[in-house]
Amino acid sequence: MLIGEYMQTVDAKFRVNVPVGFRADLGQTFVVAKGINCISLYPKAEWEQFLSSIRDRKKLRFFSAGSRECELDTQGRIVIPPGFREYLGLGKEIAVIGAYKHAEIWNRDQWINYFDDEDFSADNIEKIMEEQELI
């Protein structure tokens, strides 16, 4: 299970340190893909399942063409390819987050602003948890 939030700075070669807790779930070789507002990291089996669930050929081509296999280097890092950096407008400051069955890399400011609305205020979170009978 991929969970957690890690604020990082990429180096001049756009290498990203994959959090230690994510490495076992992702495996040594995994898929890097263009996502929605982010770059997604999928274990290969999860990526195949995701692609096989897509019925629209145009969407399948977008996700398939917008992905590639990636391998961790000896220090647990990956290099974000230039096309992916441009797609996301990725700068030096990023957030690497767990999203249950995959991980995501976000521009840090976009990640911070993603939840900056009333839907995720403490009061609303409490209401959601009560409605779901979690508290």
Looking at this protein, which amino acid is placed at residue 58? K
| pLDDT at residue 122, as a whole number | 83
CATH topology of domain 5-131: Chemotaxis protein chec (3.40.1550)
Counting other chains too, the contacts that 42-49 makes at CB distance below 8 Å and 24 or more residues apart are 42/101, 42/102, 43/101, 43/102, 44/69, 46/101, 46/102
Give yes or no for a contact between 96 and 103, defined as CB atoms under 8 angstroms apart.
yes
| pLDDT at residue 133, as a whole number | 86
Q: How far apart are CA 120 and CA 86, in angstroms?
A: 29
| pLDDT at residue 116, as a whole number | 80
| pLDDT at residue 64, as a whole number | 96
| pLDDT at residue 121, as a whole number | 81
Q: Which residues of the chain have pLDDT under 70?
A: none
pTM to 2 decimals? 0.90
Q: How far apart are CA 70 and CA 29, in angstroms?
A: 6
| pLDDT at residue 71, as a whole number | 96
